[in-house]
Homo-oligomer: A and B are copies of this chain.
Amino acid sequence: MNISEIPYKIYLEEDEIPKTWYNVRADMKEKPAPLIHPGTKEPLTFEEMQPIFCDELIKQELDDTTRDIPIPEEIQSFYRMYRPSPLIHAEFLERYLDTPAKIFYKFEGSNTSGSHKLNSAIAQAYYAKKQGLKGVTTETGAGQWGTALSMASAFFGIDCKVFMVKVSYEQKPFRREVMRTYGAEVTASPSMDTEVGKRINEENPGTTGSLGCAISEAVEVATKTEGYRYVLGSVLNQVLLHQSVIGIETKTACEKYGIKPDIIIGCAGGGSNLGGLISPFMGEKLRGEADYRLIAVEPASCPSFTRGKFAYDFADLGMVCPMAKMYTLGHGFIPSANHAGGLRYHGMSPVLSQLYHDGLIEAVAVEQTSVFEALTQFARAEGILPAPESGHAIRTAIDEALKCKETGEEKVIIFGLTGTGYFDMKAYEQYNDGKMSDHIPTDEELDKGLSGIPEI
């Protein structure tokens, strides 16, 4: 098929929404290392995880052999509300860049939560409901995950308690209000409602919070409240599993229209979007059926892949969570205050960490002013106002397309456009006013976090 015959927006049919999730671990020869107990340093058992997580989600977390896992009917029904998401041929951006490259993006931002996070939120809320639970707790930073979980919880009629990183809570009152509109209870973190919150507040007076800290609070409330469990929007194996719907749809659309990607790009904070987008392509690569360049893009101010250490570390600042083997900047790492948007987690998905360690994916770090330059170019050319997080993938997609302009190569580039930026206009304002700055941590700054990674 000639590229000009491909529609601008490729919408699949309703019956092409995936009916199974794809579990990339089944195809990995080197499996991601298991979560371990911080005390015993032994792999966590199903029973040990039960106080924290829903039963069915623990099964998914531990299952590294089943390749295709059926998506329950109720979740499929919810997916129909906003899926299939379109794969868009960025012809206006190509024209603007004057590149021979063919650029496509999978747009996950057209649902109300504004991002791909809803794909896993609805699954986690469903399993909580099915287990007869009363509610779930979680943390949110930029607010996308909290919004997604609020929507999902409202849909299944369960309670939702969100610990929102204090700086976001204050700077993004409208994000908070969306969550409240969906019935969630939103608390600024660190709060004085939890033991760990009190401790962190005492040890760090005036702290504006961090994801690692909010996680500690949410876990504490979940384990201490009857009928509650904790849910997490990224990093975990189960989350990457749910997010595989992004990649499966992308692959289906590619096959339907004869698009053969050379490069697939995604932004990476905890890794849920990137992991979901590349999973089925990675599967082909692992099985030796095809090859792709798969690129993780992270902020230069929070460079887990490119400057972190592959080691067991705590998932949270309060050290109440299990430990995961991952690329990490140390559980005490907090990105500099001028960092805009999400992608601020100190660690990275164990699945992606293993794949990166094995040389199966590449990683680059980009600076935020160059990200906002790309965001603005993209917005004006393609008409969509992206989230800052998504801008990292756009930046690298544009860089690769400009390389093609130099070499004359017609490479096919696909990137993940994870979400919209409607709640990030403060950062856009800074950029529009020429007041945005970059921060690349010095080696000394990074050492503070890295030196806190425990020796195991």
Contacts and interface: CB of A to CB of B under 8 A. Distances in A.
Contacts of A177: 425-426, 428-429, 432
B432 A181 contact: yes
Interface in A202-229: none
A385 B181 contact: yes
A422 interface: yes
Interface stretch (A24-32, A235-243, A331-339, A374-382): A374-382
Interface string A93-110: 000000000000000001
A423 B423 CA distance: 8
A201 to B, nearest CB: 26
B112 A385 contact: yes
B174 A422 contact: yes
Nearest to A112: B385
A82 B111 CA distance: 14
Interface in A83-133: 92, 110-112, 114
B173 A429 contact: yes
Contact of A14 (B8, B110, B426): B8
Given A7-B14, A422-B423, A178 B382 contact: no
Copies in the complex: 2
A384 B182 CA distance: 10
B383 A82 contact: yes
Nearest to A14: B7
Interface residues of A, number: 41
Interface string A415-444: 000001011011011001000000000000
Contacts of A290: none
A155 interface: yes
Nearest to A151: B383
A81 interface: yes
Nearest to A153: B380
A180 interface: yes
A154 interface: yes
Contacts of A110: 110
B111 A383 contact: yes
- In the complex, the 6 A-B pairs of residues with the closest C-beta atoms, listed nearest first: A174-B425, A422-B422, A177-B425, A154-B380, A7-B14, A8-B80
Given A177-B425, A181-B425, 8 more contacts: A81-B382, A81-B383, A111-B384, A173-B429, A174-B422, A180-B428, A181-B376, A422-B422
23 contacts: A7-B13, A8-B14, A8-B80, A8-B81, A9-B80, A78-B383, A81-B382, A82-B383, A110-B110, A112-B379, A112-B383, A112-B384, A112-B385, A114-B422, A155-B383, A173-B429, A174-B174, A174-B426, A177-B428, A177-B432, A178-B422, A181-B432, A182-B379
